[in-house]
Amino acid sequence: MSLSFTSNEMMTIAAARALRNEDVCFVGIGAPSAACNLARLTHAPHITLIYESGTIGTRPNVLPLSIGDGELCDTALTTVSVPEMFRYWLQGGRITVGFLGGAQIDRFANLNTTVVGDYHQPKVRLPGGGGAPEIATNCGEIFITMAMGKRAFVEKLPFITSMGHGVTGRERRALGVKSKGPTRLITDLCVFEPDAETKEMKIVSIHQGVTREQIAENCGWAPSYAAHVGETPPPTAQELEVLRDIQARTKAAHAA
């Protein structure tokens, strides 16, 4: 029996599966937050979720709209100040995974959330980096989740807000950064991982029913494929149920 699901649900579920029970995860708002809480409510009940507002070990019953909703503090093990969060916990090297989203990404998983067009004469002014520039280098590794599209997956970023593997794939080592950087990019169509040598993000699995032509149409560069490309296991009934439940609770709570 096959279940029906949306590409967005597949993306969130595939992203959640990347997380482990023993991870200490710095959670970005939006798609990453949904994936991290889905992981906590399914296969990784002991995962530690940290939001940059200072909440450590939080277990929200509904997804937060902002990074600092009261729900995060009410259900946290402890809440620290924002300077302490960035200094002791992030810069201190206590975070195993940073989970980011973005507006634009390139083949080396550098992210732009700052500006489209010239910085000083912007075509579109985006929100900016927030915690991302330091999350990208101070966490053990980085997972990224973003829906594909030609405006989002671009050949060249107008602005690098946070570093992935750099513009040539060699910048992390050259700059003395010891953390791994982006090790997984989970999209609505497929999953990418970096090539061991070149660090270019390569497709390692394709979601059920998605074609290589569809991926090419939604990517601003010619994507590379790993030697062995699998099919992403489709969502299980339990994953879909838990995800839909938390999204329904969230919608009701935010409309109230």
Partner 1 sequence: MAAFMDMAAAIEDNVRNGDQVAMEGFTHLIPFAAGHEVIRQHKKELTLIRMTPDLIYDQMIGMGCARKLVFSWGGNPGVGSTHRIRDAVENGWPNKLEIEEHSHAAMANAFEAGAANLPFAMLRGYIGVDLPKVNPKIKSITCPYTGEQLATVPALRPDVGIVHGLRADREGNVLFEGIVGCQKEVILASKRTIVTVEEVVDDFGPRSPNAVILPHWTIGAIVVVPGGAHPSYAQGYYKRDNSFYIAWDKISRERDTFLAWMNENVMSKTAAAFAVHGKK
Q: Which residues are catalytic?
A: 52
* Rounded Cα distance, 50 and 67, in Å: 10
Task: Tell me if residue 51 falls in helix, strand or coil.
Answer: coil
Q: Is 83 in the site for partner 1 (CB under 8 A)?
A: yes
Q: Is 255 in the site for partner 1 (CB under 8 A)?
A: yes
Choose, by CB under 8 A, the member of 23, 52, 106, 188 that binds partner 1. Answer: 52
The interface region with partner 1, picked from 160-168, 186-194, 225-233, 234-242 by CB under 8 A, is 160-168
CA distances from 65 to 39, 47, 160, 210, 247 (A): 18, 21, 26, 30, 11
Choose, by CB under 8 A, the member of 29, 36, 139, 242 that binds partner 1. Answer: 29
The interface region with partner 1, picked from 9-17, 42-50, 125-133, 189-197 by CB under 8 A, is 125-133
Is the sign of the CA dihedral 256, 239, 181, 161 positive or negative? Answer: negative
Q: Rounded to 5 degrees, what angle do the CA atoms 41, 43, 48 make? A: 65
Of 4 and 127, the one with the shorter C-beta distance to partner 1 is 127
Q: Is 130 in the site for partner 1 (CB under 8 A)?
A: yes
Residues 6+ apart with CB under 8 A from 192: 109, 184, 185, 186, 201, 202, 203, 204, 223
The b-or-e profile of 166-185 (16+ CB within 10 A means b, else e) is beebebbeeeeeebebbbbb
Q: Is 171 in the site for partner 1 (CB under 8 A)?
A: yes
Q: Is 73 in the site for partner 1 (CB under 8 A)?
A: yes
Q: How many residues does the chain have?
A: 256
Q: Is 88 in the site for partner 1 (CB under 8 A)?
A: no
In the complex, the smallest distance separating the C-beta of residue 130 from partner 1, rounded to whole angstroms, is 3
Residue 8 has a CB neighbour count (10 Å cut-off) of 13
Q: Annotate each residue in 90-119 with x if it binds partner 1 (CB under 8 A) or - if it does not, as one string.
A: xx----------------------x----x
The size of the interface with partner 1 (CB under 8 A), counted in residues, is 57
Choose, by CB under 8 A, the member of 67, 139, 219, 240 that binds partner 1. Answer: 67
Q: Is 144 in the site for partner 1 (CB under 8 A)?
A: no
Region for 57 from its dihedrals, namely left if φ exceeds 0, alpha if ψ lies in -120 to 50, beta otherwise: left
Structure token pair of residue 188: 């609505």
In the complex, the smallest distance separating the C-beta of residue 112 from partner 1, rounded to whole angstroms, is 9
Q: Is 53 in the site for partner 1 (CB under 8 A)?
A: yes
| DSSP 8-state secondary structure symbol assigned to residue 228 | E
- Residues that bind partner 1 in the complex, under the rule CB under 8 A: 29-30, 52-55, 64-70, 72-73, 79, 81-83, 85-87, 90-91, 114, 119-120, 122, 124-134, 136-138, 159-163, 166, 171-172, 175-177, 253-256
